[in-house]
Amino acid sequence: MGAWGALIMGFFGAVFAALTLAWHWHVTGAALALPFVPFVAIALAAWVVIRRPGKGIKPAPHVEKAIMWSSIGEGLGLFLAGNIVMNLHRPDLLLPAMALVVGLHFLPIAQAARFRPFFLLGGALIVAALAGFALAAPLGGSLAGFSAAAALWLAAAMAVRRDHRAKALGAH
């Protein structure tokens, strides 16, 4: 929800984009580093905000617990989703399955924090996943992967901005 969360969302946005380029567009080599350019920009902005004085955005203990459990569930869900689509011999569905799991992981956090933007982020990822399942490969996987990356990068930029404002206003 703050600059630290932006680092995580920005990184995984880059992972989604790089996997999409590799798996669906068959890009290889140094070009796969290009999706990490937006992550570096997000990371630099987050670093500036993190180093500023002030408390910024700090989740309540019950929200931290929801983040922890939801992230554990996300890790298990990604493992299961990956195994299911690979055992069904449908690697084209891997990115939509991943987007679905990541989207679902934001919903309990949004509920615990009563934070509408996470409902929107989770919903956007779920819609991208459903579109990815519905459309034929490689379009479905490309749509799910790039949509997930864009949603995560946008959320990361907004989180950095929110934390910056909180520190500027002296909020807790």
Q: How far is CA 30 from CA 36, 100, 118, 146, in A?
A: 11, 28, 33, 18
Helix (H) or strand (E) holding 157: helix 139-169
Average of pLDDT values for 62-85?
A: 98
Helix (H) or strand (E) holding 155: helix 139-169
For residues 141 and 93, the answer to whether their CB atoms sit within 8 Å is yes
User: What CA–CA distance (Å, rounded) separates 90 from 50?
Assistant: 42
Q: Chain-wide mean pLDDT for the chain?
A: 96
pLDDT band at 106 (very low <50, low <70, confident <90, very high): very high
Q: Which two tokens stand for residue 54?
A: 């002030």
- Decide if pLDDT at 172 tops 50: no
User: What CA–CA distance (Å, rounded) separates 28 from 51?
Assistant: 36
Q: Which residue is associated with the tokens 């890790």? A: 75
E strands within the chain?
Answer: none
Average of pLDDT values for 31-41?
A: 98
Q: Please tell me the total count of domains within the chain.
A: 1
- Decide if pLDDT at 1 tops 90: no
Supply the DSSP symbol for 92: G
pLDDT band at 55 (very low <50, low <70, confident <90, very high): confident
pTM comes to 0.95
Q: What digits encode the pLDDT tens for the residues 122-158?
A: 999 999 999 999 999 999 999 999 999 999 999 999 9
**% of the chain exceeding 90 in pLDDT:** 94
Range of the domain at 28: 3-169
How far apart are the two ends of the chain, measured CA to CA in Å? 13
- Decide if pLDDT at 170 tops 90: no
- Predicted confidence at residue 171, as pLDDT, reads 53
